[in-house]
Amino acid sequence: MPSDAAADEADRDTGPVAGSGAPVILSNEPGSFAWGVLAERHPALIQQVRDAFPYGRRQHDALDALLDEITNGVVEPLPRAEHDHGTWSDRGRGRFGQSWFDVPFLWAESYFYRRLLGAVEYFGSGPWQGIDPFAPFKQAELSGTAVDEELRALDALADTPADQRAATLLHAALWGNRADLGFRVTAAEPTADDSADGLVADDSALLWRLLPAGALAAIAVVADNAGRELIPDLVLIDHLLEQRHAEQVVLHVKPTPYYVSDATTSDFVACLRRLTQAPGEAGRIGARLWAATATGRLEVRAHSFFCAPLPYEEMPGDLRGEFEAVSLTIFKGDLNYRRLVDDRKWDATTPFADRTAYFPGAVTALRTLKSDVVVGLARGTPESLERSGAAWRTSGTHALIQVRE
């Protein structure tokens, strides 16, 4: 569990203040994507969590109160006794007392997950301490037959040439980002066909140029979801290590449960175990990765800032130092993207390099589009996507690979 001091430290040393010039995304436009997340997904998620555990009276009352607050009330501060009361008092200055729909969407979502963990006594000192309220959903996905099939498919890849294998594994990690359990609370899961021609930006050639085989670089991977996303991420990491694109990989996960399916250390262990216990190539990949953790070639870290409601431009000095120390950082997923470029209504053709100029080193985003923000598109692309009439920004049917050297 992160200490209050660590989170305080994370918030104090904030570096330059994040971008300006485009309106921050709020959730107060009925019918907008952000409005739907707060008005529909969060209440549905409270119900799902309530149904998934034999919680006691106190937890049911707390979930009722949270539901009432997010639908009819205003943002309330954390109770004084909470370990991170001070941290959130600072983060919430100017936000408490407002409608949840009128504060920045990024902030509201993040605080919602903190409050949900509070309601189920995740941070308490009692028997529910550390019980992940999303664990049943993550476990069901990880033990499902879809994962069996995905692991079996690795056998066919074992003998393909390395560059072809690399391209396939990169795409598997990219599209694995559609496997997001929060996204499935209300939306239909996109079908396999939806991914055809779904790339709105593709800097993969530059990515491989930055990672030549034999370069022995250190790479950071900022993970997103567990299960069907983390498994292809791990398989890609194995490939990078095996082919000597990287000598060391640091995998950054969340310190506490977040956005339903975001990967924590427990989820990393569960995914690695799933790989090692699989037959064939998947099992061999799992064994190699397990061994890599023991030698330090694969290291897992869980900085408190990964659950902060803030853009990465405001990252604390120690995390900035970690990213400075590697040759490339790969950010997975939609939420990381929102935090990387800042959750604002940017013109979609704003260069990705401009929005990430503050980042201390080369950076890559692998993301399926599941919320409104997007940058780095070629001129004319947003217009033609709009003409298609599809919900291309939010439905997970489109994806991007963006790189800044």
Among 165, 254, 338, 398, binds ligand F6P (CB under 6 A): 338
Minimum separation from the CB atom of position 336 to ligand F6P (A): 6
Return the closest-CA partner of residue 110 out of 119, 100, 120, 97. Answer: 100
Q: Report the C-alpha gap between 113 and 352 in whole angstroms.
A: 28
Q: Which is nearer to ligand F6P, 29 or 61 (CB)?
A: 29
Residues 250-279 that bind ligand F6P (CB under 6 A): 259
Is residue 225 near ligand F6P by the rule CB under 6 A?
Answer: yes
Please give the full DSSP string across 31-50, using - where no structure is assigned.
Answer: TSHHHHIIIIIHHHHHHHHH
CA 257 → CA 105, 114, 188, 254, 269, distances in Å? 19, 9, 23, 7, 14
Tokens 């907008």: give the residue. Answer: 32
Q: Which is nearer to ligand F6P, 88 or 175 (CB)?
A: 175
Residue 399 contacts residue 199 (beta carbons within 8 Å) = yes
Minimum separation from the CB atom of position 86 to ligand F6P (A): 26
Exposure of 47 in the CB half-sphere (CA atoms within 13 A): 7
Q: Which is nearer to ligand F6P, 168 or 371 (CB)?
A: 371
Minimum separation from the CB atom of position 337 to ligand F6P (A): 8
Among 11, 84, 109, 313, binds ligand F6P (CB under 6 A): 109
Is residue 37 near ligand F6P by the rule CB under 6 A?
Answer: yes
Is residue 101 near ligand F6P by the rule CB under 6 A?
Answer: no
CA 329 → CA 133, 319, 325, 347, 397, distances in Å? 30, 12, 10, 24, 24
Minimum separation from the CB atom of position 334 to ligand F6P (A): 3
Neighbours of 46 (CB within 10 A): 22
Among 177, 304, 395, 402, binds ligand F6P (CB under 6 A): 177
H helix runs in 277-359, sequence order: 280-295, 317-324, 334-341, 352-355
Minimum separation from the CB atom of position 263 to ligand F6P (A): 10
Binding site for ligand F6P (CB under 6 A): 37, 109, 177, 180, 182-183, 224-225, 259, 333-335, 338, 370-371
